[in-house]
Structure 1
Amino acid sequence: MSHTPDNTKIGFIGLGIMGTPMVRNLVSAGYAVTAFDLDPARVDQAVENGGSAASSIADAVRGADVVITMVPASPQVEQVVLHEGGVLEHIRSGGLLIDMSSITPQTSVDVAKAAAAKGVDVLDAPVSGGEAGAVEGVLSIMVGGERETFEAALPVLEALGKTIVLCGPHGSGQTVKAANQLIVAVNIEAVAEAVVFLEKSGVDLPAALDVLAGGLAGSTVLNRKKESILAGDFRPGFKIDLHHKDMGIVTDAARNVGATVPAGALLAQLVAALRQQGDGGLDHSALVRGVRRLSGEKVED
């Protein structure tokens, strides 16, 4: 059965930078959404956006046909889904769990096995597009799981994203997300290095970035990040702390399958260094701050 707004109640767990606008878009699409987060202020925001408040995971899951989780990393998914009081303890048999967190592929496989034992369908469905993509409802969603489950979930996913692709069995969505984070990190670092090079060369930086964006060097990263870099505005759309976690997933997963990712290994170290310098709470475009430090510039805290 297709999970359309007229026959589907959604429980949503995790109302951070991404989860809050995602709930708003689900409500706008006509879904009844009950939302939970450890921060009561975020739950209040979900209510202002048209959702219903839950006081616990059990409260969010009870009566839901579909449960969506959007939390930071594998330990939080395990806590929210697998542990006592978690999703699998309360979701109905025949329900659907869509985990949209960015976690290790193995955790997604483990969740799917545990859910199958309780008669619950699962999709791992991490996203790309950052806060802007979540707000605009144009996320790229990479999905792992069974095709029949994917097709039933499409109406829900279409309320959140624009490019929605089944990538393979359980864990495949997370593998593709890891590749995505590798490409994004390398792109941001390349933009950051170009910016510092251009600044030190005395070039008109806005003009230079405009012409670069129109050629082969153009990218979604450059288009999305150039204005905030120019303004020195590193409010997080996606935090360095989270990209640090994701680069660990990239390097570990690549080693497990025998793939060599030398640029990924370098970026993992650069992201880790930036985090140790106190920039973990900034947007990942703050990689430019790391390049400036390496180039001998003083960077304001």
Structure 2
Amino acid sequence: MTNIAFIGLGIMGNPMAVHLANAGHTVAGLDRTPERAEALIAAGGRAATSIGDAVKGVDVICVMVPDSPDVQDVLEGENGVFQNAETGALIIDFSSIRPDVTQQLAEQARALGFRLLDAPVSGGEAGAKNAALSIMVGGSGDDFAEAKPLFDVVGKTVVHVGPSGSGQTVKAANQLIVAANIQAVSEAVVFLEAYGVDTKAALEVLGGGLAGSTVLNQKKENMLSRSFEPGFRIDLHHKDMGIVTAAAREAGVVVPLGALVAQLVASARANGDGGLDHSALLRGVERLSGKAVS
């Protein structure tokens, strides 16, 4: 069994840390909101009081925080991981951040005697709770092999996609596809409702054909019931679409559909929907259609 520090016990990190504890690993969890450690404590883990406390004597340090500056603060900030962890520790960053930032952090980690894998995940809150996440991993093949048993505890599809930064690049592509898919499903729902179709039945048959997708399966109930409790917030998808468009520009490729969807996500956020689940892009379709926003 492995001694693990898990930094970031939010919607995704909390169930992931609990799964690791339930699998028999020793897990110390840390979050800015201490109450979030309650489920981990119930599973046999403990609540750490600081990064130094969390990483003391551990073999693996998992990070799941919202954005690039947050990861930088956790790792290289004052009293951060780089200052407190044991030399040789393996750092697994489950966060979704900029690929270039990941590459810089990996180089810094190596220079300090640490190892870093970028391992962003897809699957949302449901995937985290069900240990069914898709995990795209960048970094050393040897480090990936060492971490694979831990990935298998929290994920269902785990793939090493290349050197440092590759995991974040694949996650950016994932977020492009997911946002475009949610937007398309949202437009379809509003379109169907405008014609008085039995929308639930329509989505059932659409889900069984070529239009079917994981997004349709997971988000249709949100849209039908207009229940947008966050599984993955629009605020975070807005951040991810910024990563996509910036990385595409740097690579010299065009993402015209991605750029449009990025603007629609930004519009949803500007209209106060940032804290809602990303399926609430449907509300933007309603706004543009001149309909009452549900």
TM-score where L is the length of structure 1: 0.97
Aligned to 1:69: 63
Aligned to 2:216: 222
The correspondence of residues 78-89 of structure 1 with structure 2, limited to 5 A, is 78-89=72-83
Cα distance in structure 2, aligned partners of 1:27 and 1:83: 27
Specify the SS of the correspondent of 1:163. Answer: strand
**What is the Cα deviation at residue 24 of structure 1?**
1.0
**What is the Cα deviation at residue 53 of structure 1?**
1.0
**What is the Cα deviation at residue 248 of structure 1?**
0.1
Aligned to 1:42: 36
Cα distance in structure 2, aligned partners of 1:28 and 1:231: 34
The 10-residue stretch of structure 1 (140-149 or 36-45) with the greater mean CA deviation from structure 2: 36-45
Pairing 1:147–2:134 present: no
The correspondence of residues 120-199 of structure 1 with structure 2, limited to 5 A, is 120-199=114-193
Cα distance in structure 1, aligned partners of 2:190 and 2:129: 30
Specify the SS of the correspondent of 2:135. Answer: strand
User: Quick check: 2:232–2:277 contact (8 Å CA) kept in 1?
Assistant: yes
User: Quick check: 2:34–2:47 contact (8 Å CA) kept in 1?
Assistant: no
Pairing 1:13–2:4 present: no
Deviations 1:20-44 (CA, angstroms, capped at 9, x unpaired): 1001111121111000001011123
Cα distance in structure 1, aligned partners of 2:254 and 2:261: 13
TM-score where L is the length of structure 2: 0.99
Specify the SS of the correspondent of 2:36. Answer: helix
Cα distance in structure 1, aligned partners of 2:41 and 2:257: 43
**What is the Cα deviation at residue 147 of structure 1?**
0.3
Pairing 1:103–2:97 present: yes
Question: Which residue identity is paired with 2:99?
Answer: P
Pairing 1:232–2:226 present: yes
The 10-residue stretch of structure 1 (110-119 or 215-224) with the greater mean CA deviation from structure 2: 110-119
**What is the Cα deviation at residue 110 of structure 1?**
1.0
Pairing 1:51–2:40 present: no
Pairing 1:261–2:248 present: no
Specify the SS of the correspondent of 2:292. Answer: coil
Cα distance in structure 1, aligned partners of 2:118 and 2:10: 18
Structure 2 gap segments, 5+ residues each: none
**What is the Cα deviation at residue 50 of structure 1?**
2.2
RMSD of the TM alignment (CA)? 0.7
Structure 1 gap segments, 5+ residues each: none
Deviations 1:279-299 (CA, angstroms, capped at 9, x unpaired): 000000000000011011121
Specify the SS of the correspondent of 2:62. Answer: strand
Q: 1:284 aligns with which of 278, 281, 288?
A: 278
Specify the SS of the correspondent of 1:159. Answer: helix
The 10-residue stretch of structure 1 (17-26 or 44-53) with the greater mean CA deviation from structure 2: 44-53
Specify the SS of the correspondent of 2:143. Answer: helix
Cα distance in structure 1, aligned partners of 2:151 and 2:65: 17
Cα distance in structure 2, aligned partners of 1:17 and 1:118: 31
Cα distance in structure 2, aligned partners of 1:269 and 1:158: 36
**What is the Cα deviation at residue 118 of structure 1?**
1.2
Post-superposition, which runs of at least 4 consecutive aligned residues in structure 1 deviate over 6 A?
none
Instruction: Provide the identity percentage.
Output: 61
Specify the SS of the correspondent of 1:63. Answer: coil
